[in-house]
Amino acid sequence: MPLHNKILIADDDADMLELLTHMLEKEGYAVIGVENGKDAVEAARKELPALIMLDIHMPVLDGLKACKAIKTDQVTKTIPVVMLTVEGSIREIEQAIGYGARTYLTKPSSRAEILKVVKSVLS
């Protein structure tokens, strides 16, 4: 059973990971941060977070492949996924939604927008 306030964030941009972690911890969420999709898939199985935020462009395993792996795994398939993207490429976003991602955020997004999406997905 996912812990309702635990969020897994996968982003290879250390500054973005730190910014999101700080912002969400300030709102009372427990954050697990990883730097690639492979670690995200492993952490999702181990931690069972309430929400997973995946950057699309990461080393080792990109966010699209990580999303597909998470959504096809019996243990993690019900965990909502929000994709993070700099470009906001329609093709990539459609692919992520096709794999089961709930929605996406373009980077950078405002604090208000990020929190609105997180709260909406978790409610």
The tens digit of pLDDT for each residue in 42-95 reads: 999 999 999 999 999 999 999 999 999 999 999 999 999 999 988 768 899 999
Residue 96 three-state SS: helix
pTM: 0.94
Encode burial over 7-43: b for 16+ CB neighbours within 10 A, e otherwise: bbbbbbbeebbebbbeebeeeebebbbbbbbbbbbeb
CB 99 within 8 A of CB 63: no
Interhelix angle 63-72/90-99, rounded to 10 degrees, is: 20
Top-tier CATH class for 3-117: alpha beta
